């Protein structure tokens, strides 16, 4: 396992950098927790993952973490100050 040390004063932290960090982490993530739903579905223990995912979604819904997003037409203008 090779660890890369980045100098925060010299690294341009952009989408490309973030992508490369994720790919490095994923390449070291052998036989650990899956990173995507698709990864979960390909495992022998998929039913357990599915149950855990559903339990988490149910918990988030119960806590009203998410709200309906309504797209506003461009013609509608909002004023921050009333």
Q: What is the tens place of the pLDDT at every residue in 71-82? A: 888 888 777 665
Instruction: State residue 24's pLDDT score.
Output: 79
Tokens of 38: 């698709």
Distance CA 34, CA 43 (A): 9
Name the DSSP letter for residue 64: T
Instruction: State residue 18's pLDDT score.
Output: 86
Instruction: State residue 16's pLDDT score.
Output: 87
Distance CA 66, CA 60 (A): 7
**For a pLDDT cut of 70, what percent of the chain falls above it?**
87
Q: Measure the CA angle with vertex 33, ends 16 and 31; round to 5°.
A: 100
pTM of the model: 0.46
Helix (H, G, I), strand (E, B) or coil at 17: helix
Q: What is the tens place of the pLDDT at every residue in 40-63? A: 999 999 999 999 999 999 999 899
């Amino acid at each position: 396992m090779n660890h890369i040390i980045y100098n925060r004063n010299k690294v341009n932290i952009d989408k490309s950098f973030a992508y490369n960090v994720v790919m490095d982490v994923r390449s070291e993530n052998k036989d650990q927790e899956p990173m995507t739903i698709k990864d979960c579905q390909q495992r022998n223990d998929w039913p357990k993952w599915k149950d855990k995912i559903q339990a988490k979604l149910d918990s988030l819904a119960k806590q009203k973490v998410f709200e309906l997003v309504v797209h506003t037409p461009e013609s509608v203008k909002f004023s921050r100050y009333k």
